[in-house]
Homo-oligomer: A and B are copies of this chain.
Amino acid sequence: MTTREMLLAAQGAKAALAAAGPEGRKAALLAMADALEADADPILAANALDMAAARGTMSEVMLDRLALDEVRIAGMAEGVRQAADLPDPVGKVLRRVERPNGLVIERVSVPLGVVAIIYESRPNVTSDAAALAVKSGNVCVLRGGKEAWRSCNAITQALRKGLKAAGLPEEAVSLVQDTSRDSARELMTASGLVDLLIPRGGAGLIRACVENATVPCIQTGTGICHVYVDKAADLGKALRIVENAKTSRPSVCNAEEVLLVHKDAAAAFLPMLKKRLVDDRAAAGKPPVQLRLDERAAAIIPGVPAGERDFDTEFLDYILAVAVVDDVSDAIGHIAAHSTGHSDAIVTEDTAAAELFAASVDSAAVYVNASTRFTDGGEFGLGCEMGISTQKLHARGPMGLEELCSYKYVIRGDGQIR
């Protein structure tokens, strides 16, 4: 089946999925979860082939992302069941107005339609993405990474058995067969057939989508996240937040990449930072954080001199760029110039500084006295997410079920003319 034929079939499945209603969609998700567990053997067999092909060409970290076992499959099924239990986002009356002429105008949430998702090597994204799409009444067309294709395909086949068992069209979830770049390009330019494209991957994929997509697209992910430690910060609190934001999971988009410190706090804070992130971690056998320091920071603690690109790099590693700034306005200016608009934090006990920062920093998530690591659908109470939007159009921050919907106006009258 060509990608275009698949998209046409997906368009054809929209009506049935919408008509299934909240109970029908929930039942479909539960059947999809059951089918995943029932199909554990073929999924593991497919994954073994992917793993065998990848060994020797892929890092251990990437191999671990690719690997599946019974526990991970059970985790995928559990994720689908959790999505099933979330509130249904479709058909809500978001606004209602009765006009003087008697027209009743309702703004009602509706699915977007066909959502295409381009992702990379983690096979579990297949079931996560399909569950959120179906729960929100959307048909999904998935394009997984080449190296995970057999695994993704086996998972997709299981999910389709679940859909069929629940009486819904299998075409509501499909996986692109062609794993060449052509198929990604085809999804990006399938105007009229793709209602929303969500790229989940590295900066290269996101850039390719921005440059080439003619279909509506959500920019996700890239996070050059800042923590600014103000003059009026509680330095112990600041240290815990910086440590958590940088080291709890450096490979994710909400991890801190840049630390900004007020010039009056630098002499006290930077030595604490070096002790906790470098010396204590090394002593405890943990990977120490490499500090890349601007001139003013380097005058206080030892570290690597920051290069020209270090304040514009998503390290995704145990590396932290550090700069000393004059005040909160200087920090806001630095963030405006270098942030990707994902998550940025201030640590301060000064309410005025906190409110200035919160009002001025133009990012999806702006934190006062908390770690940037909370930017996540689950942590925000959305129950799940399809990715973190760093664009301003449509959705910003974690994209949960509501953000996977559009709306339409339904206007009821009794013969009104204008």
Residues of A within 8 A of B (CB): 14-15, 18-19, 97, 99, 103, 105, 110, 112-113, 191, 195-196, 210-211, 214, 216, 218, 234, 237, 240-241, 243-245, 248, 354, 358-360, 362-371, 373-375, 379-381, 391-394, 396-397, 406-418
Chosen A-B contacts, 10 in total, with CB atoms closer than 8 Å, are A196-B392, A211-B214, A240-B417, A363-B408, A367-B413, A371-B417, A379-B418, A394-B394, A396-B407, A396-B409
The reply to whether A369 and B412 form a contact with Cβ atoms under 8 Å apart is yes
The reply to whether A410 and B358 form a contact with Cβ atoms under 8 Å apart is yes
> Are A414 and B369 CB-contacts (below 8 A) given A214-B210, A216-B393, A409-B380?
yes
The reply to whether B244 and A418 form a contact with Cβ atoms under 8 Å apart is yes
Instruction: State the CA gap A401–B183 with chains docked (Å).
Output: 38
Q: Smallest CB-CB separation from A212: which chain B residue?
A: B214
> Are A397 and B369 CB-contacts (below 8 A) given A113-B362, A415-B237?
no
Pick the contact of A360 from B15, B113, B240, B414 — CB < 8 Å?
Answer: B15
> Are A411 and B370 CB-contacts (below 8 A) given A240-B417, A381-B99, A393-B196?
yes
Nearest 8 CB-CB pairs, A to B?
A370-B413, A244-B417, A392-B406, A394-B394, A216-B393, A237-B415, A373-B418, A370-B416
Residues on the B chain within 8 Å of A211, using CB: 214
Instruction: State the CA gap A171–B72 with chains docked (Å).
Output: 55
> Smallest distance from the beta carbon of A276 to chain B beta carbons, Å?
13
The reply to whether A411 and B366 form a contact with Cβ atoms under 8 Å apart is yes
Pick the contact of A396 from B14, B99, B408 — CB < 8 Å?
Answer: B408
The reply to whether B195 and A368 form a contact with Cβ atoms under 8 Å apart is no
The reply to whether A374 and B237 form a contact with Cβ atoms under 8 Å apart is no
Given contacts A240-B417, A364-B408, 4 further A-B contacts (CB under 8 A): A99-B381, A110-B362, A396-B406, A397-B409
